[in-house]
Amino acid sequence: MRHLIDFGDLSRAEWEALYQRTSAIIDHPADFMDACKGRVASTLFFEPSTRTNFSFQTAMLRVGGTVFGFADPNSSSVAKGECLKDTIKMVSGYADVVIMRNPREGAAKAASLYSDVPVINAGDGGHMHPTQTTTDLTTITRMLGGVDGISIGLCGDLKNGRTVHSLIKALAKFDNVKFYLISPRELAVPDYIRSFMKEKGLWSVEVTGLENVIPQLDVLYMTRIQRERFVDPLEYERNKGIYVLTRRKLERARKNMLVMHPLPRVDEIALDVDDDPRAAYFQQARYGMFSRMAILSDLANQPRMKPDPVEIGTTPVCSNPRCITQTDHYLPPLTKMNGGVECCAYCDAALQK
């Protein structure tokens, strides 16, 4: 693994090796205090973050490295009009690993084309969030004993939920996983995820109600309705607060079901659920720090490699208004196949003929 852009690019063997390292760090953290001694991470957060930003910084410090970066692009040369390519070329000259969150879908893929050091996707718009996925898989494995054969309910904004998209692609690597996709119809999983699930032959059912399926679940993965992803404010108002998990609803759930959430929550999990032994989301956030320690101990120690030259683009082939190619026209026009459909290699949106 050179970059971590999309968890779907990892093999199951690579994940299992990463989990073994994560588990060793959880059990014996002192053994990894100098794993990144002398190494430097750069955190480039073009949109707000609490858990991901803080846990990456803490992770790098706990393995002996140091960190620099920004949490507000207005405090950098981005505010002066510097393009992503130049920012990455410059920062990768200073750091040993680049950790980036960007509201543009496909931005991490774009950054990897120009970086001399590994790039970690800390969230690219509503597209992917692979280190949240390593967090989620670590939580499920540690608390349930494994991932194969679980029934998982993904609830909330499945259209814009990058954590959900990454998790579905990751769970496809395991055996006999059942997916209950719980959302309003207008916030259902995007077409490229639906095509991916069909291509992989994954068992799934799409429903609009939570209470009828909760008795079937080993894991309930709640997500918030994301105000910042809505173009139409009225659409957000129609959907906010549509799913709220309460202690009463949990009475129908299995005694060992996990309640997970990538956080932050708004109102989709009532506060009184926090004291239920099935509530795993704060422990999940802590596991995220350990999984990022494992990732950094690998990627931050890789040698510098000058990337191959790429074509200079002129106009985007992708019509997704949220795609990085809509603003950074110099990017090469890269495509790939998803479920037999030609898609943008940056944001995975199907290309219009």
Please give the structure tokens belonging to residue 208: 């609009």
Checking if the pLDDT of 320 tops 60, the result is yes
Each residue's pLDDT tens digit, 26-57: 999 999 999 999 999 999 999 988 889 999 99
Please give the structure tokens belonging to residue 131: 């280190």
Each residue's pLDDT tens digit, 177-186: 999 999 988 8
Q: Are 33 and 63 in contact (CB under 8 A)?
A: yes
Proportion of the chain above pLDDT 90, given as a percent: 79
pLDDT for position 164: 94
**CATH H-level superfamily of 130-281:** Aspartate/ornithine carbamoyltransferase (3.40.50.1370)
Measured in whole angstroms, the distance separating CA 235 from the mean position of its chain's CA atoms is 24
pLDDT for position 72: 85
Q: Calculate the dihedral angle through the C-alpha atoms of 188, 189, 194, 196, rounding to the nearest 10 degrees.
A: -170
Q: How confident is the model at residue 240 (pLDDT cuts 50, 70, 90)?
A: low
Checking if the pLDDT of 231 tops 60, the result is no
> 3-state class of 205 per DSSP?
strand
Checking if the pLDDT of 339 tops 90, the result is no
Q: In the predicted model, what is the mean pLDDT of residues 316-328?
A: 94
Checking if the pLDDT of 236 tops 70, the result is no
Each residue's pLDDT tens digit, 61-71: 999 999 999 98
**Lateral strand order in the sheet of 219-222:** 203-207, 178-182, 151-155, 219-222, 258-260
Checking if the pLDDT of 241 tops 70, the result is no
Q: How confident is the model at residue 315 (pLDDT cuts 50, 70, 90)?
A: confident
Q: In the predicted model, what is the mean pLDDT of residues 134-151?
A: 97
Identify which of 352, 341, 345 has the alpha carbon closest to the alpha carbon of residue 319: 352
Q: Is the dihedral of CA 291, 296, 302, 306 positive or negative?
A: positive
207 — phi, psi (to 5°)? -135, 165
pLDDT for position 262: 94
Domain ranges of the chain: 7-129+289-344, 130-281
CATH assignment, 7-129+289-344:
3.40.50.1370
236/157: higher pLDDT = 157
7-129+289-344 matches 130-281 in fold? yes
pTM for the model: 0.91
pLDDT for position 184: 87
| Long-range interactions of 187-190: CB distance < 8 A, separation 24+ | 187/156, 187/157, 187/158, 187/159, 187/160, 187/225, 187/239, 188/158, 188/159, 189/158, 189/159, 189/164, 189/165, 190/159, 190/165
Each residue's pLDDT tens digit, 277-311: 999 999 999 999 999 999 999 999 999 999 999 99
Distance CA 119, CA 209 (A): 38
pLDDT for position 227: 55
Distance CA 168, CA 45 (A): 25
Q: In the predicted model, what is the mean pLDDT of residues 102-125?
A: 97
Q: How confident is the model at residue 254 (pLDDT cuts 50, 70, 90)?
A: very high
